[in-house]
Structure formats: structure tokens, C-alpha cells
Amino acid sequence: MDNNIEKLKQTIIRQVNSESSRLKALAVRIHDNPEPGLQEYKACEWLTQFLTEQSFTLERGICDMPTAFRAVYGKGKPAVGLLAEYDALPGLGHACGHNLICTIAIGAAIAAKAAVDRYGGSIIVIGTPAEENYGGKIVMARKGAFTNLDAAMLVHPDVVDIAAVPAIACQQMNVEFFGKAAHASSNPAAGINALDAMILSFNNINALRQHIQSTARIHGIITDGGRAANIVPDHCAGEFYVRAADDASLDELLQKVLNCFISAGLATGARIEYKPDPLRYASMTSNMTLARLYVDNMKAIGREVSLFESKIPLNVGSTDMGNVSQVTAAIHPMVAIAPKGISPHSPEFAAAAASETGLNGMCDAAKAVAMTVVDLLCNAETMKKVREEFKQTRLQENK
């Protein structure tokens, strides 16, 4: 490697080390003040304050979201996006470790300033609210927040170190059945049971489940199941998530799931109202050129990261980073902060997100991301390769 680039990467490592106590304190502060999606006011304030102190030019409330922001250092191309999440899970705190995602982005951004000073281009930290249960990046992608980026990176805490993580497409469905109330004992013949329609829907879906792809998922809850046991329920509502490997298979599966509801409505006589959520999580396409750079940089600081999982992943979720990967070259690596066996979205994982292991993982990831920014800014050929791969994958996916 060019000696100058090697020296610059060493500077970046030292920079993250010297900022590590401030970064760790910030990660713990956000962890101790968990805020659910779209209400991340404190986190947004603390993160943006950190960035303005570091000479980033700040714009808050972008895309009409009060807790979204954009902070820019340098100008022009290449423009590298470092994406930050900071929402918590209602009732569980930072059980997905998003307090570390944002401090990875901030740590990487301030360290990578040296690369901008040397080679030009820009770093753009984008604060993306409400990843959980809303999909902030889906809205932001539609509003063009990522369109001008040449690459986008976000590192997520996990129990493994993997660079190219698959994520499946996901669509929420809100379903209601409307029946007819009647006395459940003295006059049941006059009633139409909306709850039965919902229960039949679950049974239909369970029958369908044997014949879907192993990467697909269907899961739901009943949010209204009636008012009293002696009244035939005249209304029942449920929320469902339907997931599949890609957009095309999701469309196909959604139709099958819809048939489960429609047939349950026919069987019971209950009227169905069905609303697909307008926001759909797209599947994640990792840019492998970017992913390899990240793996190499992690290796250089002594952390082994798999490029991707060797087996077909079964423990797979969805992320709104998938929608970012459709508009620019993107990666969403996982950094291990807890031993295997601990599940994200659990109290144990929330504890790991403020543990010494978690905070050290955050610093490692910040270094590797900043070093990857160096690779992109210092070498036009590398950047070209990233862009070409992105164009190629979009062409294939749109065939």
C-alpha cells in the first residue's frame, strides 16, 4: 500500500483512540436515555452538537422529520455517507444497539476528516430516525436524501462480525374484519363473528407456511379481539409483517397472504378492510467492493470479519438500509458486541450495548469505516469500481 495512505490510516486509528472516551460517554448517555422512533430529540441534540464542534455544517429536520439531520464536512465528490440510527425500542431501551450505530458514524466521520483534508471530496453524516417500526430511511430515500451519495455505510451491533449482511424485504399489512354484534348465547344466529375471521386467517396462514421459501416470514398480532365474551365480536383488527427474500417474491407472497384473509372473510361473512402500509422495507444489496474494503480495514486493526455468512442465513431480518442500497452503493456490516446465543431485541442485548465489549466494538467499527473512507477518497479507481458494481446490480435487479 502507498506509504502516505498507510500513514493516513494510522492517523485515523490514533484519532479514534484519542476520541474514544468521549465517544463511549456519548454512546452510554444515549443508551441511558432511550427514545423511541421519531422522538429521538436528546440523541439528535447530542450527536449534532458533537459534529458542529468538529466543524461539520449542520442541517436539522431534513426530509420534514424533526429528528433527522445532515452534517457535511468538505465539498463535492466523492460524497461518502455515514448513516446514524439512534432510536430505541419501546419498553426495551437500546436492545438493538442503535446507540452504538450513531457513535460509530460520528467517530468515523471525525476521524475521516483528515482524508477529506488530504484528498478532497466530502463526508456526509446523515441522522436517520425511527429504523424500528417506521422505516425512516424509506421516507428519506423517497425524498432524495441519499441520491447524491457515492457510497453509504452503517455498522449495526450483533453477535457476529460480518460485512455483507442479507436483509429481506418486508411489508406491513393492517387487516380489519367487520362483523355483527349479537348476544353470544341467546341470539348467536344473528351475529357475524369478526374474531373468528381473524382466527381463521391465522390458521390459513399457518397452512400456507409449510409451502413458502425458508427465507420468507409471516407473523402478526391481534390488536382488537372483541369487547366481552358474551358479545359476538363485531370488529377485529390485526397487524402483520410479511417478509421475503426480494421485492418480486414479496409481491407474490403478499397476494397469497391476502387470499388467507379474504377466504376467512368469506367463510364467516365478515367484511374485510385491508391496508398495505405505504412503506416497504426493500431487501439489502451489499456492495461487495465496499464490503471487501471494510473487511481488509478491520483485519488491519486486528479484527476478523467474515465477508458474508457461509450458510444460507435463516436468522434474517429487514432493515430500511435496504432502501438506501437501492439508490446508492451501500453496506450494513454487523459488529459483534455480545456472545452468540444472545438475541438482539432482548434485555441481555440492551446491556451489551453499553458494555465494555460493546463500546470497544464501536471504536473498532468507527476506525474501519473511517479507513474505508480513505480508500474511497484517495483512489479514483476504487471509487469507480464501487459505482460500477452498484450500476450493474441495479441493472440486474430491474431486469
Residues binding Zn ion (CB under 5 A): 96
Residue whose CB is less far from Zn ion, 96 or 359: 96
> Residue 153: what are its φ and ψ, rounded to 5°?
-130, 145
Q: In b/e form, how buried is each residue of 347-371, taking b as 16+ CB within 10 angstroms?
A: eebbbbbbeeebbebbbbbbbbbbb
Amino acid at position 221, single letter = I
Min CB(85)–Zn ion separation in Å: 7
Residue whose CB is less far from Zn ion, 113 or 217: 217
Do strands 235-244 and 156-158 pair parallel, antiparallel, or not at all (unpaired)?
Answer: unpaired
Min CB(245)–Zn ion separation in Å: 20
Residues found in the chain: 399
Separation between Cα atoms, residue 18 and residue 298, nearest integer Å? 18
Residue whose CB is less far from Zn ion, 96 or 362: 96
Min CB(231)–Zn ion separation in Å: 41
Separation between Cα atoms, residue 289 and residue 79, nearest integer Å? 16
Residue whose CB is less far from Zn ion, 86 or 240: 86
Residue whose CB is less far from Zn ion, 192 or 336: 336
Cα-based distances in Å from 158 to 86, 131, 334, 378: 15, 16, 6, 30
Spatial CB neighbours of 16, under 8 Å, sequence gap ≥ 6: 23, 107, 108, 111, 363, 366, 367, 370
Cα-based distances in Å from 297 to 34, 201, 331, 397: 31, 49, 14, 29
Min CB(317)–Zn ion separation in Å: 8
Min CB(89)–Zn ion separation in Å: 9
Residue whose CB is less far from Zn ion, 96 or 140: 96
Min CB(320)–Zn ion separation in Å: 10
Instruction: Of 380, 376, 326, give the one whose Cα is nearest residue 115.
Output: 376
Residue nearest to Zn ion (CB): 96
**Which regions of the chain does DSSP assign to beta strands (E)?**
57-60, 69-75, 79-84, 121-127, 151-153, 156-158, 169-178, 217-224, 235-244, 271-281, 330-331, 334-336
Instruction: Of 29, 87, 30, 94, give the one whose Cα is nearest residue 346.
Output: 94
Residue whose CB is less far from Zn ion, 96 or 205: 96
Question: What's CA 151's distance to the chain center, in Å?
Answer: 16
Instruction: Of 244, 241, 240, give the one whose Cα is nearest residue 216.
Output: 244
Residue whose CB is less far from Zn ion, 113 or 332: 332
Min CB(224)–Zn ion separation in Å: 28
Min CB(81)–Zn ion separation in Å: 18
Residue whose CB is less far from Zn ion, 78 or 135: 135
Min CB(324)–Zn ion separation in Å: 14
Q: Within 13 Å and on the Cβ side, how many CA atoms surround 331?
A: 28
